[in-house]
Structure 1
């Protein structure tokens, strides 16, 4: 009887897990902006509380904090647009150099791998007509731009409402639990908000530090549009492990296309290694800290599952959401084994 009960419980857990994954996947259009708005509200709550100490109404404080965040993001995007203007001015030269790099790569494939030019051409041919493909690309671009605009507005609206009604939302959660559990629930809510605030705030400071280091390094090397690549590499840090590799790989390819020699390419790689050393052993312990105690295995698992379910937004949300889940698991006795599984705990040495 006990074995049957354990089997039924295991099947129920698997069914609930599968149902949760399905709900997360099909609920992506609603859940991703909702979760981003919640995390952004946690980041801005401390600023709002500081403004409210000056007898400022909560709605006004939330609006000021949100406008400040929007202005910062707009400034970064303006800087990127200004740097991208340099690319458009030299687009013909870049296309010529890119064609040379592609030609050299195709020649290397033929000489080293044995794939001749005709086979390479068949691999890249598209069955659709050029007119139809162009129309499809334009429609996809317009649809994607509209979707991003709508999601951005939703995130800002959710953020404002979360900040404004945070006390009501907290009281709602407390009403759902028994009276004797409310102190523990309040502690969980405060710790979850603290983890999100420290992680996102520390990550923001670290990105700014990366902009400075990458900008100085790339400028010294003489990389064209060094500020653009520095900002891009820094922003990619929001995706742990994967983002910095993507940013640096893109920079190396761009330097090669721009006609940079081997010394410049090795210099870019050297700057990346130096910045990663500073980031790992100095910036992360001092700025980000150890608030999110997720072990490396489940950090990777979270990133992969986040990308599969929610795309790029899932990769951005994976780590802070796992950190919040870890706190919840750690305060529920029946879920403590799962907190131990995904958390980063030092094993005690046996005497």
Structure 2
């Protein structure tokens, strides 16, 4: 491939990207559980190695970490369910508060426009049928998603077990793709990929814990209703880079509005979330994750959007570790090095338009970027 003209190489690369995305779109129900299982198995690998080093039978050394993971996830689901149950039990008061907010909104609309309250009610009644139809379609789609989720969750532990059991076969398969002289680079890439995935996913688990405690605990001390539920929802949505935090803020405001007739709790919720986010982004998360791979914000957001389009929430969640792994691979291959530069945030100190040295593949001086 090195002897091919550069235009042919670029064309093959672009065709490869199109083919890869097409495969992900068509087979996301099969591929996404595999990718998720791969990342989780990397996280469980140190526990598996520890048990094997202490003469624990191989099957047991694989099953125990998986059981530990299941217990942790079951605890998270139980905690979230308890908070949702508390919200549902408060439904009569929520209904009353929503009516008060709707009346205030109606008066505000009447004050800034020529639409009276009666006209607003007529407009809502005319669109009721469309809303019911949309709700029916949404419920149907949710049922399909729920069934897919059960399949996803059912296959995940099986995939994790088999990946840990056959990890040596998978490693040999990877090495056999490359010439012997390239094996040191391959080994280095494998170790760095393992480190990145472990630090990222373990960091996210720690992040969910302290975000729930900080947001939920602070709001609970202040006296905001359903504080822990707001904290849990925001903590998990915050796992989705950039977009998740915005959605978490919106849901937090909506839950607060339904539990109170005043506006000060909304301002309080937004202020607490903003303060915790600042602390998380600038102090806590960089120290916890500590990844050496830096992804620029443009491709981080683009990756989240594309991942969500391909595989929904799981695709959005997996987008960042996938991009980080791709960058590790690209940075260590001569034919794909330019893609590693494109994904990273290592900005040249001078414009490549003015200085030819900054157009080359060799390393260049860069400005410090923001670690992602």
Q: Which has the higher helix share?
A: 1
Show the counterpart of 2:34.
34
- Offset at 1:104? 2.9
Q: What is the SS of the residue equivalent to 2:31?
A: helix
Provide, for residues 177-211 of structure 1, a one-character-per-residue CA deviation record: whole Å limited to 9, x for no partner: 22222222111111111110111111111221111
Show the counterpart of 1:209.
210
With a CA cutoff of 8 Å and minimum separation of 6, indicate the structure with the bigger relative contact order.
1
| Residues 176 and 108 of structure 1, relative CA distance in 2, 3 Å threshold | same
1:21-100 to structure 2, matched below 5 A, reads 21-100=21-100
Q: What is the SS of the residue equivalent to 1:181?
A: helix
- Kept in 2, the 8 Å contact 1:198–1:291? The answer is no
Show the counterpart of 1:314.
315
Question: What TM-score do you get using the length of structure 2 for normalisation?
Answer: 0.85
- Kept in 2, the 8 Å contact 1:62–1:160? The answer is yes
- Kept in 1, the 8 Å contact 2:296–2:343? The answer is yes
Q: CA RMSD in A?
A: 2.5
- Kept in 2, the 8 Å contact 1:192–1:327? The answer is yes
Q: What is the SS of the residue equivalent to 2:37?
A: helix
2 CA distance for matches of 1:300 and 1:135?
31
Show the counterpart of 1:250.
251
* Aligned residue-pair number: 346
Question: What TM-score do you get using the length of structure 1 for normalisation?
Answer: 0.90
- Offset at 1:8? 4.1
| Residues 343 and 176 of structure 1, relative CA distance in 2, 3 Å threshold | same
| Residues 77 and 113 of structure 1, relative CA distance in 2, 3 Å threshold | farther
1 CA distance for matches of 2:194 and 2:58?
18
Report the more deviating stretch, 200-209 or 9-18: 9-18
Note the residue ranges of structure 2 that are not aligned, 5 or more in a row: 352-364, 366-372
- Offset at 1:289? 1.6
Show the counterpart of 1:175.
176
Report the more deviating stretch, 111-120 or 175-184: 111-120
2 CA distance for matches of 1:291 and 1:51?
29
Show the counterpart of 1:165.
166
2 CA distance for matches of 1:159 and 1:260?
48
Show the counterpart of 1:284.
285
| Residues 207 and 282 of structure 1, relative CA distance in 2, 3 Å threshold | same
